[in-house]
Structure 1
Amino acid sequence: MFNPNQLWKKRIARHAKETGRYLRLMFNDHLAFALLFFIAAFAYFYQQWLETIPDEFPADWLIAVILGFFVTRSPIRTLLVEADTFFLLPAEHKMGPYFQKGFWYSFMIQLYLLALSLAALAPLYLTVISEDGKSLIWLGVILIIFKIWNLFATWWMLKERDAKSRQMDVAIRAVLNILTLFFLLQGNAYLFASISTILFVSYLIYTYQSVGKKLGIAWDLLIEKEEASMQAFYRVANMFTDVPHLKKKAKKRHFLVHLLINSIPFRQDQTFQYLYRITFVRSSDYLGMYVRLLLIAIFLIFWVPIVWFKLVFAVLFIYLSGFQLMTLWNHHRTIDWIDLYPVTKKVRKQALLQFLLMIMLVKTAILGIFILIAASWQEMLLLWGIGGVFSYLFVQMYVKNRLDKRKVS
């Protein structure tokens, strides 16, 4: 006899085991040290910044937008798999308890993220908005209520197959969430906050009446969303370890590909130089990660007031880029024709080492220019020197030793 509660227990146990395994590999000693340093330094400079924050700083809008984002983004985890469209379809009328558990599981996970974001913004709130801690607690209660409402709206809209309608739903909820939070933060705009809340509830009722009452379950859409969530997790995990479940997607990016491969000579020993460069550009993982780390480093260079910490953060993000791009070595491991290339693994290893060094030196050069703008030319030259030496030692000592341990030479 079909038992939806037992099915959920099996699915959540398997999900926890799989994600836990990757999380242990992701949060290794290197990343833990980098995160610990980053959090400690960020907290210190955050406090320093709050002491000199200008009166005209739009703290209310900043808090409303950040919290509004976390409230609006409310994906529902169902842990469904593709085979469920065949095996669970006959038991669709019994799946209510299963989806209820998925709903509240999603709520608990997102509540944790929402609490972290509120905790991070609490010093700014207490400094600029209100010194009353009770008002911050009430704000947390309101966030919980709005989060539940947004989860219900997301669940109802999962019965709507039109992608544009779902996108419009997210946009409407985001605007109403942000406006309501902004009015609440004003302290004297409760009338406007009430009006925006009434509009939000009215929109919820409309969504339920027009979409939520639809019969049946859009199995293909639920499975598509669940698979997208898992693939997003796998992409992050793949930066730290091998993920065989990851489905890779390639993007054309003709201009960037031409820019990187134009200087490569047409020789057999340059095969993997070509392959690693186009993989870096066309993959949906590496280029985006590289650019995001670059932007965060630039932000910290301008935000951190002490010059030496600017340099430390710059070198830290140069290291993170090199460390996470090491996974290029295993990117094509499931493609058999890679092994048919008439190129030795020693040449392949050297190609990866050269490419990583180039990528790290490019980031060093770019960050040096921003150090020049934020500080002086002496600090720029210092970063170029330290970053260049660090990049060379990291590639030739750490990365090379890691590859040697895998017996690739």
Structure 2
Amino acid sequence: MNNLYRQRLSSHLKEMFKYLRLVFNDHFVFALLIFIGGLGLAYSNGLKVLQPHLWWAKPVIVVVLLLVLQLGRLATLFQDADVVFLLPKEAEVRQYLKGARLYSEGLAFIYELFGMFVLLPFIQVTDAMPIFDLALIAVTQLLLKDSLFSLAVIRRFQVKSGWLKQAFWFKWIVPLMILLVSVYALPVLGTLLGLILAISLRVMDKRYDAVPFDWWQSISLENNRMMGVYRFFNLFTNVPMLKGVAKRRRYLDWLLNMVKVTSKNTYLYLYSRGIVRSGEFSGLYSRLTLLGMILLYFVRGTWLPIALAALFLYLIGFQLIPFYWQFDDIVFTHLYPIAEKQRVASFRRLMFSLTGITAILFLVMVFLANRSFQVGLIALVVELVEVFVMVQYYLPLRLRKKK
């Protein structure tokens, strides 16, 4: 069973690296560097105006630590067929879970320490804790994360104790109480409570060695975890494992009714309804637009928000281009007596509408964040030029290369 997990982990990592190469392309890395730089600059400038002993500093520390604690889940890598083929090996499933926990918890500890590292300047400015107390809080955070992994393992067995299956208490309430003790009272006491909780759950986990394994529950939890990973990758590239679900979205009918039902608008009619009702591309478009708006609201300056808006606008347009071939697998579309130029023109109209809406939303965010007509005017000119160049020249070039 140990070899089985190692084999699956190796295959899983190869798949993840394949998608990461697609996600972290040159354009996204450039945008990410600008975003991290802007965020770091905003964080640094924000720290300069803070005063020691702010009343809201400790609540922020507790909330951030609690949220970071939720990062990282148990990656069992179970598959649907395991309920049949691994059933004879159920007695050895503990060995399999040991490897899964070692990998998952090691990765989660990196998240926790990184979160603590990012929060450290804020703590030092607003509270000025001794280094020893900060180290104890970090240890407490790791102990709490270890407790959550023990609970995750227990939940994958057919446990009769209902209170153990109430994840809300162990994921939110108990860690909140321990973190409050660590931050508001004595960090040593918080570490002691975290240690007691971690040891108790590990001992409790050992008591369920003879309990039957819940295959359906474990497979369902793993499938949900992987769907979350695939949805993230789907923000940047097509993921075959995600099945798009068409949704009616009746509240957008007024937009679709703007397309007149004529022979000239055949593909525009098809593309407009496809983009609105497609769960994959509409979700990709809306999530990237919303993410860009949030980032632009918190970025200040003259050229940085303009560059960030231009980059996100390009990323959105770049990710929408594959929608041009969305209906090629439907044989009836090849029977349309419509020239290719007309199809390209329809898709260009769709791209112009979508990128134009995004450009307007980005412009509003840039103006709200900077309150400067000069920055807003520059952003308007840059976005107009970018939308025109992308739709008029870049899109036809990409379509010709694909052929």
TM-score by length of 2: 0.84
> 1:197-208 residue pairs with structure 2 within 5 A?
none
1:48 alignment partner in structure 2: 45
Query: Cα 1:347–1:39, aligned 2, differ >3 Å: closer, same or farther?
Result: same
1:103 alignment partner in structure 2: 101
1:229 alignment partner in structure 2: 225
What are the Cα deviations for residues 91-120 of structure 1, in whole angstroms up to 9, with x where unaligned? 211222111111221112222222332222
2:382 alignment partner in structure 1: 386
The alpha-carbon deviation at position 320 of structure 1 amounts to 2.9
Q: 1:122 and 2:117 equivalent?
A: no
1:353 alignment partner in structure 2: 348
Q: 1:246 and 2:246 equivalent?
A: no
1:62 alignment partner in structure 2: 60
> Is the deviation greater in 112-121 or in 43-52?
112-121
Query: Cα 1:344–1:6, aligned 2, differ >3 Å: closer, same or farther?
Result: farther
* Contact residue 272 and residue 352 of structure 1 kept, 8 A: yes
Q: Take 1:135 and 1:333, find their aligned partners in 2: how far apart are those partners?
A: 62
- The gaps in structure 2 that reach 5 residues or longer are none
Query: Cα 1:346–1:63, aligned 2, differ >3 Å: closer, same or farther?
Result: farther
Q: 1:363 is aligned with what amino acid?
A: T
**In the alignment, which of 95, 110, 113 is matched to residue 111 of structure 2?**
113
**In the alignment, which of 383, 396, 402 is matched to residue 400 of structure 1?**
396
Aligned residues: CA RMSD: 3.5
* Contact residue 74 and residue 151 of structure 1 kept, 8 A: no
**In the alignment, which of 248, 273, 276 is matched to residue 268 of structure 2?**
273
The alpha-carbon deviation at position 234 of structure 1 amounts to 2.6
The alpha-carbon deviation at position 371 of structure 1 amounts to 3.3
* Contact residue 74 and residue 149 of structure 2 kept, 8 A: yes
1:6 alignment partner in structure 2: 3
- The gaps in structure 1 that reach 5 residues or longer are none
Query: Cα 1:217–1:30, aligned 2, differ >3 Å: closer, same or farther?
Result: same
* Contact residue 181 and residue 190 of structure 2 kept, 8 A: yes
Query: Cα 1:338–1:149, aligned 2, differ >3 Å: closer, same or farther?
Result: farther
* Contact residue 143 and residue 195 of structure 2 kept, 8 A: no
The alpha-carbon deviation at position 84 of structure 1 amounts to 1.4
Query: Cα 1:134–1:91, aligned 2, differ >3 Å: closer, same or farther?
Result: same
1:25 alignment partner in structure 2: 22
What are the Cα deviations for residues 323-354 of structure 1, in whole angstroms up to 9, with x where unaligned? 33334345556655555555555444443333
Q: Give SS of 1:270's match.
A: helix
Q: Take 2:344 and 2:210, find their aligned partners in 1: how far apart are those partners?
A: 56
Q: 1:62 is aligned with what amino acid?
A: V
Query: Cα 1:161–1:278, aligned 2, differ >3 Å: closer, same or farther?
Result: farther
Q: 1:40 is aligned with what amino acid?
A: G
> 1:183-198 residue pairs with structure 2 within 5 A?
183-186=181-184, 188=185, 193=190
The alpha-carbon deviation at position 289 of structure 1 amounts to 4.3
The alpha-carbon deviation at position 31 of structure 1 amounts to 1.0
2:86 alignment partner in structure 1: 88
* Contact residue 273 and residue 352 of structure 1 kept, 8 A: yes
Query: Cα 1:271–1:48, aligned 2, differ >3 Å: closer, same or farther?
Result: same
Q: Take 1:143 and 1:176, find their aligned partners in 2: how far apart are those partners?
A: 12
Q: Take 1:279 and 1:199, find their aligned partners in 2: how far apart are those partners?
A: 55
1:316 alignment partner in structure 2: 311
What are the Cα deviations for residues 58-94 of structure 1, in whole angstroms up to 9, with x where unaligned? 3333332232123235522111211212111122112
The alpha-carbon deviation at position 148 of structure 1 amounts to 0.8
What are the Cα deviations for residues 233-278 of structure 1, in whole angstroms up to 9, with x where unaligned? 333333433433332233443213x143121111344344344444
Q: 1:399 is aligned with what amino acid?
A: L
What are the Cα deviations for residues 126-163 of structure 1, in whole angstroms up to 9, with x where unaligned? 2223254443333222111111101111222234699x
Q: 1:393 is aligned with what amino acid?
A: V
> Is the deviation greater in 337-346 or in 361-370?
337-346
Q: Give SS of 2:303's match.
A: helix
Query: Cα 1:94–1:200, aligned 2, differ >3 Å: closer, same or farther?
Result: closer
Q: Take 1:172 and 1:255, find their aligned partners in 2: how far apart are those partners?
A: 40
How many equivalent residue pairs?
400
* Contact residue 158 and residue 211 of structure 2 kept, 8 A: no
* Contact residue 313 and residue 358 of structure 2 kept, 8 A: yes
* Contact residue 182 and residue 190 of structure 2 kept, 8 A: yes
**In the alignment, which of 12, 29, 48 is matched to residue 15 of structure 1?**
12
> Is the deviation greater in 123-132 or in 299-308?
299-308
Query: Cα 1:178–1:17, aligned 2, differ >3 Å: closer, same or farther?
Result: same
* Contact residue 264 and residue 273 of structure 1 kept, 8 A: yes
> 1:316-355 residue pairs with structure 2 within 5 A?
316-329=311-324, 331=326, 339=334, 343=338, 345-355=340-350
Query: Cα 1:100–1:205, aligned 2, differ >3 Å: closer, same or farther?
Result: closer
Q: Take 1:46 and 1:40, find their aligned partners in 2: how far apart are those partners?
A: 10
1:264 alignment partner in structure 2: 259
1:39 alignment partner in structure 2: 36
Q: 1:364 and 2:362 equivalent?
A: no
* Contact residue 180 and residue 193 of structure 1 kept, 8 A: yes
Q: Take 1:216 and 1:343, find their aligned partners in 2: how far apart are those partners?
A: 62
Q: Take 1:376 and 1:65, find their aligned partners in 2: how far apart are those partners?
A: 34
TM-score by length of 1: 0.83
* Contact residue 289 and residue 358 of structure 2 kept, 8 A: yes
> Is the deviation greater in 34-43 or in 234-243?
234-243
* Contact residue 133 and residue 187 of structure 2 kept, 8 A: no
